[in-house]
Chain A
Amino acid sequence: MTAPLVRFRDVTKTYDGHTQVVAALNLDVQRGEFLTLLGPSGSGKTTTLMMLAGFEDPSSGRIELDGARIDTVPPHRRGIGVVFQNYALFPHMTVAENLAFPLSIRRMPRAEIASRTQRALEMVRLPGFGDRRPQQLSGGQQQRVALARALIFEPKLVLLDEPLGALDKQLREELQTEIRRIHAQLGVTMVYVTHDQAEALTLSDRIAVFNEGRIQQLGTAEAVYEHPANPFVAGFIGENNRLAARVLDATRLRLGDGSVLTATPHDLPAGAAALLSIRPERVALGAAAQGMTNAATARVEEVVYLGDHSRLRLAHAGRTDFIVKLPRQDAVPQPGTMVELGIPEAAVTVFPAD
């Protein structure tokens, strides 16, 4: 494997001297990858991005780009493209002038600027929009222009700060596809900040899940979803049922209502308090539940029809908020009826309780 493009080494950021917005961050960004920094607001993901862009200074530690230290280099000499949430297109310039801005700053010849601008507009599928003013474009179009502007000077690295946050769902999905396509086409390294876990799963080669200034887990979309490293990651990415339990042996745990649940082998000592996470879509109901080790009967409290799936709230394991997602099928249990319920052993993730 080649050397990473970006290295964060023990980077800490604090504004008031004791609260660490980013705490001892160590992170490598590989060449050509699409890395997403995912986390709730205040988790330090945007601060991390801004330190990389040069708009914030780390309180300690170092940041390297291509092997050279950059945390002391002013932002305009870092050569990193940035896409902002509110687009930040210059309103006093046309679309073409916006795109030409980084090129004219670099004193590129006029003919070269014109042809590059043309190609950039074609890349984001907005040919013929060069003479418009940004405020004459829709939000989605503005963000395409902003993306083209961040790419036009061929930076090695492009940072995207919640670029789709202001758009509606449909446009967001359309632009996600667009960003993926451009990333694949250009092979440029992208670091993307979002609080939307679905967006992170869709786009990323790797996801860094942030909380309270620290990376909770760094891995592929599948890894963070299927094998969350801790209860926070399990809770932040996708829905899950959380159950308190006590360890009986290497596979079995006793739930709050006294029932026993079997999980894949874990390494908690017998008698320890544990927290179980069970994904709602992995719970089987009805005939599919028969023959499973963790089988039980539960009462249906509520059914919400969501088109492609139904969401059921069951009374199970001493709680009334046990959620099960049922893919679209003919027979959806009615509220008030009793159903067979089965939890596969592999669907139970065991964490030590705090």
Chain B
Amino acid sequence: MRRTNWLAALLIAPLLLLIIGSFLMPVGLTLFRAVADREVAAALPDTSTILAAWDGQRLPPEAAFAAVARELAAALEERRIGDVAQRMNFERTGLRTLLLRTARAGDRLQAPYVASLVALDARWGESETWLMLQRAGGPTTSLYLLRAMDLTRGPDGAVMQVPDDEKLFQTLFIRTLWVSLLVTAICVLLAYPVAYTITRLRAPWSSVALTLVLIPFWSSVLVRTTAWFVLLQREGPVNDALIGIGILEAPAQILGTRIAVLLALVHVLLPFAILPMHSVMTRLDATYLRAAASLGANGVQRFFRVWLPLSLPGVAAGGAMVFLLSVGMYTAPALVGGDRDQMVTWFIANFMTRDVNWGMAAALSAYLLAMSGAVIALTRILTGGTIQAGARA
């Protein structure tokens, strides 16, 4: 017995390692990046140590000024000033310039450093600049997580809303949630009758219909979305058709609108709603419907009181699948959606590739993960009883 267990563990070990290596570790690292704060401590170790002991009341001691001048110059020399400049600039716009200017000043800065640094830039004479450096000393920060919710810390360290004209992420998350819920609702409503029809079809036709549902999987999401891009263009067939049947008089701008995003997402995700529903429905015993009929229920009553509740686990599974995928979908909304109507994923990609701000990307990812988890948990709670009942012995 013990031997078999050992052997079994050995057999699944590669798979386990694969899951840990390719799934758990990246997710964990990403989540960690959302709170990690090591740029300043790495580039300015002495400054950080001195600032850690500073009470923050007035200006820090001369030693801190000396250390920051020396370490900034060294960091510039060794070409690793980028990270810390980027990090501090995220704290307040303009700090990048301050740090770079100070680093370039190099030998021109002489003791007493308090005087020469303030002479170089008056901001060194403000305790707020030093407070920001102190706060960025790490090893962890709530800055990214706060900022991803449009929150920030005031000079006294209290959490507060960012100014209204800088607000972005709250609306972004609400928009992502709304679009995903809308896509989920549309997919569920469209998929249910399709799954029902496929289930009721006779032998060869049901497999044909199921194959038709699966055909979109034969091409990549990118190809399918690009197809929408072509179809929805100003001079594209959709506009032509709408004008042709007299609904439109002039070509409409469809690309870049919410409608285009919904269209592309629903198209890509519909099979993910149909398949779980179909699989639950095929396992539903038709005798339930016969029993309901023999007990006096007409077609409508049979559907609403027997078939629908029994197929709800499929609806929940399909809906959850579509919601999860649509929350994380990048290609389709990025291609056909408008610049001002993008989803969280687009910002994550942007932070990673353009701004090289992994902290923000990670914080947004963490919230996205939490949001998906919350919705799935909610679905489970709401349909818990039904799912249990539906899983018949």
Contact = CB atoms under 8 A, between A and B. Distances in A.
Contacts of B296: 76-77, 79, 102, 105-106, 153
A90 B290 contact: no
Contact of B392 (A53, A75, A135, A149): A135
Given A86-B285, A86-B287, A88-B287, A54 B293 contact: yes
B287 A92 contact: no
A105 B290 contact: no
Given A82-B291, A88-B287, A101-B292, A76 B392 contact: no
A325 B295 CA distance: 46
A153 B301 CA distance: 17
Interface stretch (B89-97, B132-140, B171-179, B304-312): B304-312
Contact of A84 (B287, B297, B305, B386): B287
B294 A90 contact: no
B374 to A, nearest CB: 26
A271 interface: no
Given A91-B389, A101-B305, A76 B294 contact: yes
B298 interface: yes
The residue among A75, A89, A153 with the most chain B CB atoms within 10 A of its own CB is A75
B306 A90 contact: yes
Interface of B: 285, 287-288, 290-298, 301-302, 305-306, 309-310, 385-386, 389-390, 392-393
B392 A80 contact: no
A92 B295 contact: no
Contacts of A135: 389, 392-393
Contacts of B290: 53, 55, 75, 82, 84, 88
A81 interface: yes
A102 B390 CA distance: 21
A75 B301 contact: no
A3 to B, nearest CB: 24
Chain B interface main SS type: helix
30 contacts: A53-B290, A53-B294, A55-B290, A55-B293, A75-B293, A76-B293, A76-B297, A76-B298, A81-B295, A82-B294, A84-B291, A88-B285, A88-B290, A90-B291, A90-B292, A90-B306, A90-B310, A91-B390, A92-B309, A92-B386, A92-B390, A101-B305, A102-B295, A102-B296, A105-B295, A105-B296, A106-B296, A135-B392, A149-B295, A153-B295
Interface string A102-144: 1001100000000000000000000000000101000000000
B392 to A, nearest CB: 5
A106 B309 CA distance: 20
A150 B301 contact: no
A88 B288 contact: yes
Contacts of B389: 91-92, 133, 135
B294 A91 contact: no
Interface in A146-204: 149-150, 153
Contacts of A54: 293-294
Interface string A49-75: 000011100000000000000000011
